[in-house]
Amino acid sequence: MQKVLIVEDDALTSDVIVLFLKGKYIADTAKSAEEAVEFIAKNKYLFILMDINLGKGKSGLELAKDIRIYSGYDKVPIIASSAFIMINDKKEFIDAGFNDFLNKPYTREELFKVINRNIQC
Protein backbone atom coordinates (compact mmCIF):
# COMPACT_ATOMS: atom_id res chain seq x y z
CA MET A 1 0.00 0.00 0.00
CA GLN A 2 1.09 3.52 -0.73
CA LYS A 3 1.66 6.15 1.94
CA VAL A 4 -0.36 9.33 2.34
CA LEU A 5 -0.05 12.24 4.73
CA ILE A 6 -2.95 13.66 6.70
CA VAL A 7 -2.29 17.12 8.18
CA GLU A 8 -5.05 17.79 10.68
CA ASP A 9 -4.91 19.42 14.11
CA ASP A 10 -8.16 17.84 15.35
CA ALA A 11 -7.48 14.30 16.63
CA LEU A 12 -11.05 13.06 16.11
CA THR A 13 -11.16 14.26 12.52
CA SER A 14 -7.75 12.73 11.89
CA ASP A 15 -8.91 9.38 13.30
CA VAL A 16 -12.00 9.39 11.07
CA ILE A 17 -9.91 10.10 7.97
CA VAL A 18 -7.50 7.29 8.86
CA LEU A 19 -10.50 4.94 9.20
CA PHE A 20 -11.82 6.10 5.81
CA LEU A 21 -8.44 5.28 4.22
CA LYS A 22 -7.87 1.99 6.06
CA GLY A 23 -7.19 -0.91 3.74
CA LYS A 24 -6.37 1.37 0.80
CA TYR A 25 -3.49 3.52 2.04
CA ILE A 26 -1.01 3.74 4.90
CA ALA A 27 -1.64 7.11 6.54
CA ASP A 28 0.83 9.18 8.52
CA THR A 29 -0.77 11.94 10.55
CA ALA A 30 0.69 15.33 11.42
CA LYS A 31 -0.99 17.74 13.85
CA SER A 32 0.94 20.84 12.79
CA ALA A 33 2.79 22.38 9.87
CA GLU A 34 6.10 21.72 11.62
CA GLU A 35 5.30 18.04 12.11
CA ALA A 36 4.15 17.77 8.48
CA VAL A 37 7.47 19.17 7.23
CA GLU A 38 9.32 16.56 9.30
CA PHE A 39 7.29 13.77 7.68
CA ILE A 40 7.75 15.21 4.18
CA ALA A 41 11.51 15.48 4.64
CA LYS A 42 11.68 11.74 5.41
CA ASN A 43 8.95 10.20 3.24
CA LYS A 44 7.43 10.23 -0.21
CA TYR A 45 3.63 10.43 -0.24
CA LEU A 46 1.10 9.64 -2.95
CA PHE A 47 -1.05 12.60 -1.85
CA ILE A 48 -1.52 14.96 1.09
CA LEU A 49 -4.87 15.80 2.68
CA MET A 50 -4.50 19.02 4.64
CA ASP A 51 -6.71 21.09 6.90
CA ILE A 52 -6.53 24.80 6.13
CA ASN A 53 -6.81 25.91 9.77
CA LEU A 54 -4.02 24.22 11.74
CA GLY A 55 -4.28 26.24 14.95
CA LYS A 56 -1.05 27.85 16.12
CA GLY A 57 1.79 28.25 13.67
CA LYS A 58 1.55 28.12 9.90
CA SER A 59 -1.77 27.72 8.15
CA GLY A 60 -2.44 25.06 5.55
CA LEU A 61 -2.12 27.72 2.86
CA GLU A 62 1.39 28.63 4.01
CA LEU A 63 2.35 24.97 4.40
CA ALA A 64 1.19 24.05 0.88
CA LYS A 65 3.54 26.69 -0.56
CA ASP A 66 6.40 25.30 1.56
CA ILE A 67 5.72 21.70 0.49
CA ARG A 68 6.03 22.56 -3.20
CA ILE A 69 9.68 23.52 -2.60
CA TYR A 70 10.65 19.99 -1.46
CA SER A 71 12.24 17.74 -4.07
CA GLY A 72 9.65 15.45 -5.60
CA TYR A 73 6.68 17.34 -4.18
CA ASP A 74 6.05 19.70 -7.06
CA LYS A 75 3.47 17.29 -8.56
CA VAL A 76 2.17 15.47 -5.44
CA PRO A 77 -1.55 16.25 -5.09
CA ILE A 78 -2.40 18.35 -2.05
CA ILE A 79 -6.08 18.38 -1.15
CA ALA A 80 -7.38 21.17 1.10
CA SER A 81 -9.96 20.37 3.74
CA SER A 82 -11.97 22.81 5.82
CA ALA A 83 -15.41 23.46 7.19
CA PHE A 84 -15.12 27.04 5.98
CA ILE A 85 -14.40 26.71 2.25
CA MET A 86 -16.30 29.09 0.01
CA ILE A 87 -16.52 28.88 -3.78
CA ASN A 88 -14.41 32.05 -4.06
CA ASP A 89 -11.60 30.37 -2.08
CA LYS A 90 -10.75 27.94 -4.90
CA LYS A 91 -8.41 30.38 -6.69
CA GLU A 92 -6.61 31.19 -3.42
CA PHE A 93 -6.12 27.46 -2.72
CA ILE A 94 -4.86 26.72 -6.23
CA ASP A 95 -2.50 29.72 -6.05
CA ALA A 96 -1.16 28.39 -2.72
CA GLY A 97 -0.32 25.03 -4.30
CA PHE A 98 -3.41 22.91 -3.63
CA ASN A 99 -4.86 20.69 -6.34
CA ASP A 100 -8.38 20.32 -4.96
CA PHE A 101 -10.50 20.77 -1.86
CA LEU A 102 -13.13 19.09 0.31
CA ASN A 103 -15.72 20.78 2.47
CA LYS A 104 -16.08 19.29 5.96
CA PRO A 105 -17.92 17.24 6.89
CA TYR A 106 -17.56 14.80 4.02
CA THR A 107 -18.29 11.14 3.47
CA ARG A 108 -15.86 8.37 2.62
CA GLU A 109 -17.31 8.34 -0.89
CA GLU A 110 -16.74 12.08 -1.31
CA LEU A 111 -13.16 11.69 -0.08
CA PHE A 112 -12.40 8.92 -2.55
CA LYS A 113 -14.03 10.82 -5.40
CA VAL A 114 -11.58 13.71 -4.80
CA ILE A 115 -8.62 11.35 -4.29
CA ASN A 116 -9.36 9.46 -7.51
CA ARG A 117 -9.75 12.72 -9.42
CA ASN A 118 -6.25 13.77 -8.34
CA ILE A 119 -4.06 10.67 -8.37
CA GLN A 120 -2.89 8.53 -11.24
CA CYS A 121 -2.58 4.88 -10.34
What are the structural domain ranges in the chain? 2-118
The highest-level CATH class for domain 2-118 is alpha beta
Q: What is the mean pLDDT of the chain?
A: 92
Contact 9, 21 (CB under 8 A): no
Q: What angle do CA 58, 36, 78 make, to 5 degrees?
A: 85
Rounded to the nearest 10 degrees, the angle between the axes of helix 60-67 and helix 89-96 is 40
How sure is the predictor about 14, in pLDDT bands with cuts at 50, 70 and 90? very high
How sure is the predictor about 3, in pLDDT bands with cuts at 50, 70 and 90? very high
Which one is predicted more confidently, 91 or 21? Answer: 21
Contact 5, 32 (CB under 8 A): no
Closest CA to 77 of 109, 116, 32: 116
Average pLDDT over residues 46-61: 90
pLDDT at 73 over 90: yes
How sure is the predictor about 28, in pLDDT bands with cuts at 50, 70 and 90? very high
pTM over 0.85: yes
Q: Which residues contact 80 (CB under 8 A, 6 or more apart)?
A: 50, 51, 52, 60, 64, 93, 98, 100, 101, 102
How sure is the predictor about 89, in pLDDT bands with cuts at 50, 70 and 90? confident
pLDDT at 56 (0 to 100): 85
Average pLDDT over residues 67-85: 90
